Structure 1
């Protein structure tokens, strides 16, 4: 930085660093966490757990954005969509991004202190996943699978916090989230594919090549199949099935949007995935409310 910024302006830059103005990332983490929290508690999560998981999701997603921009600051300079990010544009220093990520992760960690030891152990894994994803995506052909684990780790944590154990249904939900993340983040990667190819980066959109739309369809199908399996394990009936049917209709709409690989349409599909997550949650919420 060439000058010392007043705190209001600096905080505004930090808010942009962690994407406060783009809540889609928080929602894509939050819906799976809420699936698990409602399923584990029978639709009646403890107030503190609900607060802690919602706040923790927002904090960890924000920390992830900061650490991601730190590692990608040189690459982002050459991508049309990201070259104006505050760190890449030199509005803040790299050490500031690391400090913001550290503070947010610390506050998130404090939220789990009243919980049990299994949650403590899982929180360490969650922090590692969030911090390592920006590096992992540099060499793994389908980094979206790793993202799915990181974005879905609130699922086993929610079951652990509520039941002090992680049942098979919880692991099925986590597996479903992995395939969902591959689906929606491939749509996102299709937006940046020309830039990523030029820079020699690895994404699922590049790995799948001309099979990208078909693979997104397959991942949506596997997501719904695994969620159906989780519902069967939990003894769910028609309300949950209706939620999955609504999610399937939303997925079909996304496939219609991305079939021509138009960049704006692919980004629209990515953003619309919050409604997929909401549909699944609605099915769980109605199912547990009727029991």
Structure 2
């Protein structure tokens, strides 16, 4: 079944979004590449994108103008392409490990539906799209964006050597916390660093929840994670990460003298993260996936508050 692109198995992997339109309407030949870039699982690019948007909105409050919406669009395109490139790279590195894990053995590379050569070519194409987006920003933002590539390059290997691969993922996924500010000002400030650190702790928390799905198989194949490290204390571990994220976010808002709407967004973000912690059940993989995906909504609530606050200061409301 794994070798037939038109089969139900090839069109729907365990963590695919149920009823995905892109999988339903895409031609058979495109399905393995859609899955390779995780386009059928949009939560990944949302989680890369949201720190960019937070940072752009925070810069908008500082400028008294709201977020730069052209930058918001560019970050969207860049997040989709670079998240896809990162997934392709990760799957190239992890293809042997993925073959030994139940949830991932059906992916295009370990299942043989995409060759290694085709995956490399696809990686280059996605990277070129991301590069075109990056070159649309100022020189400082371009250099800042390029600096993230080292972290992206080493991340797939971290699960072999440390129980904190989620922290390295956080360093990469949260990079947008610097980019929005850099694109707006051509420099960085402590407020941008705080929103970056906020996004790092947020990433560690939600990716620990995600890793609960693979904890059993990870132990068999020797893959390390914070889900395995925290073990029975996973709820406490995630809660600590989320509290630290919220503290950094609050300090960043205070640093730009955010108003009522920014704090309303922060409160909604905090409430959502608290709800996630209350629902964590170590043995239930379905709940873990649902909670992980819900972080798109958590991040959008925070962005909405920040963006609305900046726009209010400009008199757009």
Distance 1:85-1:260 versus aligned 2 partners, 3 A rule:
closer
C-alpha RMSD over aligned residues: 2.1
- Say if 2:291 is the partner of 1:269: yes
Aligned residue among 137, 141, 144 for 1:122: 144
Cα deviation for residue 47 of structure 1 reads 4.7
| Cα distance in 2 for residues equivalent to 1:246 and 1:59 | 29
Distance 1:16-1:217 versus aligned 2 partners, 3 A rule:
same
Aligned partner of 1:18 in structure 2 is 37
User: 2:58, 2:253 within 8 Å by CA — same for their partners in 1?
Assistant: no
Aligned residue among 195, 213, 236 for 1:173: 195
What do residues 192-235 of structure 1 show as CA deviations (whole Å, max 9, x unaligned)? Answer: 10000111111111112222110101111111110000001010
User: 2:159, 2:165 within 8 Å by CA — same for their partners in 1?
Assistant: yes
User: 1:141, 1:203 within 8 Å by CA — same for their partners in 2?
Assistant: yes
> Larger deviation: 269-278 or 105-114?
105-114
Cα deviation for residue 79 of structure 1 reads 1.1
| Cα distance in 2 for residues equivalent to 1:117 and 1:286 | 28
> Larger deviation: 224-233 or 257-266?
257-266
- Say if 2:252 is the partner of 1:205: no
| Cα distance in 1 for residues equivalent to 2:236 and 2:93 | 31
Residues 11-90 of structure 1 aligned to structure 2 (within 5 Å)? 11-42=30-61, 43-90=65-112
Residues 146-185 of structure 1 aligned to structure 2 (within 5 Å)? 146-185=168-207
TM-score w.r.t. the length of structure 1 is: 0.93
Aligned partner of 2:253 in structure 1 is 231
> Larger deviation: 201-210 or 120-129?
120-129
User: 1:105, 1:127 within 8 Å by CA — same for their partners in 2?
Assistant: no
The unaligned stretches of length 5 or more in structure 2 are 5-25
User: 1:144, 1:182 within 8 Å by CA — same for their partners in 2?
Assistant: yes
User: 2:164, 2:225 within 8 Å by CA — same for their partners in 1?
Assistant: yes
What do residues 231-261 of structure 1 show as CA deviations (whole Å, max 9, x unaligned)? Answer: 0101012212211111121112111221454
Cα deviation for residue 286 of structure 1 reads 1.8
| Cα distance in 2 for residues equivalent to 1:282 and 1:109 | 28
Aligned partner of 1:214 in structure 2 is 236
| Cα distance in 2 for residues equivalent to 1:280 and 1:116 | 26
Cα deviation for residue 50 of structure 1 reads 2.6
| Cα distance in 1 for residues equivalent to 2:264 and 2:27 | 47
What do residues 54-73 of structure 1 show as CA deviations (whole Å, max 9, x unaligned)? Answer: 10111000001101111111
Cα deviation for residue 21 of structure 1 reads 0.8
| Cα distance in 1 for residues equivalent to 2:59 and 2:162 | 33
The unaligned stretches of length 5 or more in structure 1 are none
| Cα distance in 2 for residues equivalent to 1:16 and 1:242 | 37
User: 1:109, 1:123 within 8 Å by CA — same for their partners in 2?
Assistant: no
| Cα distance in 2 for residues equivalent to 1:240 and 1:269 | 24
Distance 1:279-1:50 versus aligned 2 partners, 3 A rule:
closer
| Cα distance in 1 for residues equivalent to 2:197 and 2:305 | 18
Residues 92-131 of structure 1 aligned to structure 2 (within 5 Å)? 92-131=114-153
| Cα distance in 2 for residues equivalent to 1:270 and 1:44 | 29
User: 2:66, 2:309 within 8 Å by CA — same for their partners in 1?
Assistant: no
Secondary structure of 1:235 counterpart: coil
